[in-house]
Structure formats: C-alpha cells, structure tokens
Structure 1
Amino acid sequence: MSINTPTLPHSSNGTAVLGLPPSWYLDPAIFELERRVLFDGSPQFVGRSQMVPREGDYVALEGAHAGQLLVRHRGEAQLVSNVCRHRQALMLHGRGNAKRIVCPIHNWAYGLDGRQCAAPHFLENPCLHLPTSPLREWRGLLFMGDGDPAVALAALDDWPELAADGYVLDRIDQEEHDLNWKSFMEVYLEDYHVSAVHPGFRTFVNQDELRAPQRVCCGERFFAEMVSAKWPLGSPGSPRFAEYQRLLLEVTGGEAPAYGAIWLSYFPSTLIEWYPYFNVVTRYTPLSPERTQLTSQYYVRSDIRESRPDFVAACHAVLDEVTSEDHDASVRLHQGRRSLWKQGIEWQGPYQEPMEQGLQHFHDFLRTAAKG
C-alpha cells in the first residue's frame, strides 16, 4: 500500500519550512527572551489622535497604560503620568478638558506638559514633574516606544482603504486569557482555519481570495491582507451574519462594500482590523508564557454611529462571534502544545502555501529577533 506524501515548502538551503515547536509557546526562558528583545522599547499602541481632538483634552487610559493620561498640549498628543508625585494618588478619571492636572487629595498641580506648577503650603515648589512620553502617529493611530510606524509601515501608503478619518471610539474591551500571546496574533495571520472555524464569516467574504490571497503586503515588522466581501452577498452562515448582511445592504444602499476585511499585524504587539465602517485596534501584553492581556478599542465612522445604531450593534455582534470562535481555536491549539511540551515532544508542522504565508512571515520575524 503506497501513501502519497505532500510536497512541503522548502527554504533556500533545501530544508523543509516548518512552524514553531511547542516550546516557543510555553518555555519561560523563551518568554523572557521575547519580552527583552521584542517588547522592551517596541512600538506600543496607545490610542487614536481623535480621542483628544482639542487643546486641553485628556483621556485617563486603562489596561497596559493605566496610570497615564493621553493629552493634547500645544497641538500635539502625548502621554503624561496620571499619578501624583506627592503621595501617589491617581488624579484624573474618564475624559475631559483641563488647563492643569490637579490632584484631588492635596491640590498639587501640574501643567499638561507635566511640569509641577503648584504645591500648597510648601515654601518652594518641589519641582517634582510628571514623566511624559512623546508619541508617533500613523494614520491617526498613536504609538509610544522606539521606532517610527510611519517608516515601518510605509509600504502601505498606497492602500487608501486604511484611512480612518472621521471615526470615533465606541467601545473598549480589556480581558486576560490563559494563552500565550502568539496564539492570538497567529489566527489573524493565516486563512487556513477560516473554512472550518468561522461559518458566518466564511460565507461573507470571497473564499477564493482566502484560498489564494490577492492583496497582501509585508515588511520587516508587519503583514497585511485584504479580502473582498462576496458579491452578491451569499446565504448567511449564522443568524448574526444574517442580520448584519441585511443591515449592511441598507447602509451601503445596495452597493458592494469597498472590502470585506483588512488585517494588519504590526509586530510584535498590535493587531489592526478594518471592516465596513468599523476599525478595531488590539494591543497584546504578555504577562507570562500562558497568560496575556488584550485591550481592544472599537471605532465606528461617526455618521454611521449617529444614524444607524442598529447596524453598529449588528457589527459588534458578528465581531464578537468571530472573536469567540478564534478564542476557542486558540484554546485548542494551546492545549495541544501544552500536552506535547510537558512530554518533551517538539512537533513542527509545515505551512500551507499560500494560506499560511502571513504566519510564516511572523515566525521568520520571531526567529530572526531571537538570534539577535
């Protein structure tokens, strides 16, 4: 009895190209290496420029940036510590507009540039200024840390679909999961799982473009892919997608949307998604080899948010459906890897080309970074 062995993709030196072994998801030593060489100082998503549109606007941040303020000062968005230098109280909550940052406990006050300007009943100003961090902007998204996203993502300059002017913040989700951080990033870097995992989404988008991606772009620190919506829209694959597709046709006036989905993975910690009239930005913060914090910000085009709350709710519903399906798939992957790792087994599987080309690009990035 003969068995047909599939042809595996090979590297330039003739060896088979394989995915990462289980240890890369569970070994504490590898986790610490990733934190040091990938995350320390790397670009970290903070928020959108539109969150602070006017001079003096501020937003008290949560999640990975808890204890910091996003402020608009002298026309520029920047981060300022939100913790008083006197007795370490958290000073501002929510969002608003202010000329100064004032601690509600002892009235110590600071300018929006972080410089201390008042300390009641002190003979002299202690000049204990608040730390500040400059930010870099790409298409309205704000990042702190080393590197310039406008340079790193310059190859996407001719993708007009990525413009998100006129979008407003609609929802923020913050969660922690018992999974390795890469498990979340990877499901957005390959199309191979879509037909099995996403019954609603797979019938919404053009499946031919999933099997043979037509529009992709990659650079040293990113991978991007765009897929069209199936047109005419097909039979919905789930009740939530049935409602979403019905309302989408109303919003577009019966016209095909410009795209079905765009995914941009900006390594190592940021996922940016575009859907018709929606933009989602998620930051991954690794806490341990098996625990990750996710902070997701959902933005909606302002006119749609005001005029079509029914469509906004339907879009959130389908995104929640797809996210839940991806989470369940990530859990299964993590459970399998953990079982093998505890046995000392380092299985590695081949990449399916071209549906896992983004995954391979991400793994190449990780391997290169690990070599220093």
Structure 2
Amino acid sequence: MPKDHIDPIAALRENTSVPFERARAMPTEVYTEQSFVDAELEYIFRKDWYCVGRADALSAPGDYVACELAGQPIVVLRDRDGDLRAMSNVCLHRMSTLLHGRGNAKTIVCPYHAWTYNLDGKLRGAPAMTKNEGFCKDQYALPQVRCEEWLGWVFVCLDPEATPVAAQLAEVAAKIEGYDMANYSEAFYEEHVWDTNWKVLAENFMESYHLPVCHAGTIGGLSRLEDMICPPGHAAFNYHTILKDESLRIAMAHPSNDRLEGDARRTTYLLALYPSLMITLTPGYFWYLSLHPKGPGQVHIRFGGGMSNDFAADPDAQDNFTALKTLLDEVNVEDRGCTEKVYRGLCSEVATPGHLSHLERPNYDFAKYLMARIDAGSSS
C-alpha cells in the first residue's frame, strides 16, 4: 500500500538523532522527494564549495570549464595574468549561456549575437549597438564568483561568506601531507549522468563494505573488510582507508618518495569532501567524482584522475596508467549498476532503511552533515 506522506527533512532529523551504534540508513524520502532536492540546492549547493576539477587542466590562458551550480551557469578559466577566476556564464545582452564543456578560448564570444568578453569578464565588443544611445560598453562586465585553489583542486562558491576552502580542509591537508596531492597531474576527464540520486553515489563511494560483492568482477577480491578503517567524520569531510595489495605497483609510493613510511606507502585514502567531491588517493595515482544533483533521480558526474608526478619519468608509467583507466571504467560500470538498482529500490512503496554496519560510519556522518547544513540554512 502507498506510504503516508512524510516530510523528508523531519524524517532525516529523527534519523540523525540516533547514535551511530543504533543508526539506520537515511529515510527513502531524503532521496526521492523533490522538496529535499530543493532544500539541498538552497542550503548546501548554494552555500558550500563545489569542485569543478583540477587546476593543471586549466593551465594555459583561456583554458576553461563550464558548470551549473544550484541552477547558476558559471565558467571557471585561467585569465591572461595566469590567475584562476570564476564568473557568470550568462551573456549580459539577451542572456544566452556563453561557454560549454571544457576547452580554450582567446575571448568569450556569445553564440547568440556575438557580444564578446575579455577573459576578465569585461565586455570587449558588441556588434550593431552604436545606435542605442544608452549603451556604454564600459558598463558591462560579467559578475564574478568566488574561486579558490586547494592542493591542485579548483572550487567555486556562490556564498560570499563561506569559510575559505583551505581553512575548512586544514585537517585533510595535514593527514595526507606525505602524498603531496598538488603534485598529481590529471590524465583524463569525463562527464556523465546516471539514473540515481547524487547521495546514493556519494554514499557508495564513502563505504567499502560493498566492494567484495558489487565489484566481484574487478577489485572485490583484493578488498579485505578487516583492513578497512572508518574513523568518525569531521565537520567538512569524512574518510576511510584501505591497505592496497603491493601487486598494484602504481598504487604504492614511488621509490623516490621519502615522505611516506611503513604502511603509509601502501595506504589508500577515500576522502569525501562535503558536499560532493569524492577522491580516491593512493601514493601513486588518484581518481575523483564531483557530483551535482539533477532532480531526485539523476546525478551529474565529473569523473577524472591521473598519476603522481613522482612516476612521470618511469618508462612504463603510461602503460600502467592505461591499464588502470581500463580497470576504473570497469569499476564504474559495476558502480552504476549497483547505485541505479539502489535508487529503483528506494522508490518502492515498501522500502525501509536498515541498520548500518560499522563499515558505514562515513554514511552516518554524511547524514549528520546534511541535516546540520539544512538546519543552519533554514533557520538563518
């Protein structure tokens, strides 16, 4: 029989009031109700930092990436002074969006009427405007958006009052100092849309409890549940760690790396930087997902990865990474299948959240973060 209508925010508040030792998965309404997506966009994605990718992918003047953040079209680019900047990606004439995807542009040209902007956002030229007496080119400049780089990652934020990224993630930087995360180069970047809720995919990343089953065809056999450590989360992030098998050489610290010692040389960090940047960081390579909701039942995914520059001079580094990328693609196929099945199950009239394993501690902390952000936003 159909469920009675339940306020998803009230349901999450009750869910997160329980200590972790008795916690259950989040209520189904948190994933399936449009009203909860609206709250997320208003109180989370309009307020927190969103990652658009790696800085080394925007290395030359004019390199850009476009995104939509909480309904706002934004472009992030490297300007002629070599600085990263973010700005509105909407023309100031008839309001077409300007740049799309990733690429390089000497100037920003509107695809509708060819109004043209410099890389700092100032209007450079506008055809056939000389007969409008009120038009003054110098009065037009694309609105700027906050943009920060942290350890090689590029973030944007719509809230001028948000705490800087480096301050929010200082504890992360301290934990992974020996990896030198800024010293990794992106080797691939893709964008995808999957038919699942963004939180389902985020939670799937946050726990490795599913690895032996969901990834039985790829990495599941190398995933020992007893080696997984899931400490309590922090205000702006959670993480867990896995010890990698030394048979995957590019997951180990390079012989020249004198920053890591002992088990740290084969430890993988799975970092969930709130709200939606998920990073698998090994001493040799990294890959990431940056997520944004597209309604309750779809998620936009920025998927990228690359190698530590410690491996750059190794003659077999590219072959090893090509093999790794093939593996990551296969893992993604498995994750897509699992997470889309979860969303279909969440939409069932009889779906009921079960108790969490100790290996799902990050999921509990994620739920607490969501509730805290929504409560803080709605009460301000």
TM-score, with structure 2 as normaliser: 0.76
**Partner residue of 2:364?**
360
**Partner residue of 1:294?**
301
Among 277, 281, 287, which residue is 1:274 paired with?
281
C-alpha spacing 1:204/1:258, structure 2 compared with 1 (3 Å):
farther
User: How big is the alpha-carbon RMSD for the aligned residues of Structure 1 and Structure 2?
Assistant: 3.5
* Paired residue type of 1:275: T
Indicate yes or no: 2:219 matched with 1:201.
yes
Q: 2:75, 2:99 within 8 Å by CA — same for their partners in 1?
A: no
How far, CA to CA, are the matches of 2:17 and 2:76 in structure 1? 47
Superposed, which structure 2 residues align to 1:2-41 within 5 Å? 16-41=22-47
Q: 2:87, 2:143 within 8 Å by CA — same for their partners in 1?
A: yes
**Partner residue of 2:152?**
140
Among 169, 175, 195, which residue is 2:192 paired with?
175
How far, CA to CA, are the matches of 2:200 and 2:150 in structure 1? 26
How far, CA to CA, are the matches of 1:89 and 1:19 in structure 2? 39
Among 236, 239, 245, which residue is 1:230 paired with?
245
Question: How far off its partner does 1:21 sit?
Answer: 1.9
SS at match of 1:133: strand
Among 185, 203, 214, which residue is 1:186 paired with?
203
Question: How far off its partner does 1:29 sit?
Answer: 2.2
Among 161, 164, 167, which residue is 1:151 paired with?
167
Superposed, which structure 2 residues align to 1:213-252 within 5 Å? 213=229, 216=231, 218-231=233-246, 233=247, 245=248
Q: 2:28, 2:347 within 8 Å by CA — same for their partners in 1?
A: yes
Q: 2:73, 2:88 within 8 Å by CA — same for their partners in 1?
A: no
How far, CA to CA, are the matches of 2:74 and 2:326 in structure 1? 31
* Paired residue type of 2:170: A
SS at match of 1:157: helix
How far, CA to CA, are the matches of 2:20 and 2:149 in structure 1? 42
C-alpha spacing 1:21/1:179, structure 2 compared with 1 (3 Å):
same
Question: How far off its partner does 1:268 sit?
Answer: 1.8
How far, CA to CA, are the matches of 1:350 and 1:310 in structure 2? 43
Higher mean alpha-carbon deviation, 319-328 vs 10-19, is at 10-19
Question: How far off its partner does 1:194 sit?
Answer: 1.9
* Paired residue type of 2:204: V
Q: 1:155, 1:217 within 8 Å by CA — same for their partners in 2?
A: no
Higher mean alpha-carbon deviation, 123-132 vs 169-178, is at 123-132
TM-score, with structure 1 as normaliser: 0.77
Among 245, 253, 271, which residue is 1:264 paired with?
271
1:304-324 Cα distance to aligned partner (Å, 9 max, x none): 568432211111112122222
Question: How far off its partner does 1:184 sit?
Answer: 0.1
Indicate yes or no: 2:354 matched with 1:349.
yes
Question: How far off its partner does 1:114 sit?
Answer: 0.9
1:317-369 Cα distance to aligned partner (Å, 9 max, x none): 12122222222221232222211xx3xx462311212x111111111222333
Higher mean alpha-carbon deviation, 119-128 vs 32-41, is at 119-128
Matched residues, percent identical?
22
Among 328, 343, 353, which residue is 1:334 paired with?
343
Question: How far off its partner does 1:261 sit?
Answer: 2.6
| 5+ long unaligned stretches in structure 2 | 1-15, 257-261
C-alpha spacing 1:227/1:290, structure 2 compared with 1 (3 Å):
same
How far, CA to CA, are the matches of 2:311 and 2:145 in structure 1? 34
Among 66, 82, 91, which residue is 1:61 paired with?
66
Q: 2:76, 2:84 within 8 Å by CA — same for their partners in 1?
A: no
Between the two proteins, the alignment pairs up a number of residues equal to 340
**Partner residue of 1:242?**
none
How far, CA to CA, are the matches of 1:39 and 1:63 in structure 2? 10
Q: 1:92, 1:101 within 8 Å by CA — same for their partners in 2?
A: no
| 5+ long unaligned stretches in structure 1 | 1-9, 234-244
How far, CA to CA, are the matches of 2:20 and 2:268 in structure 1? 35
SS at match of 1:219: coil
Among 307, 316, 325, which residue is 2:325 paired with?
316
Question: How far off its partner does 1:287 sit?
Answer: 1.1
Q: 2:74, 2:86 within 8 Å by CA — same for their partners in 1?
A: no
SS at match of 1:288: coil
* Paired residue type of 2:30: W
Q: 1:263, 1:273 within 8 Å by CA — same for their partners in 2?
A: yes
**Partner residue of 1:45?**
51
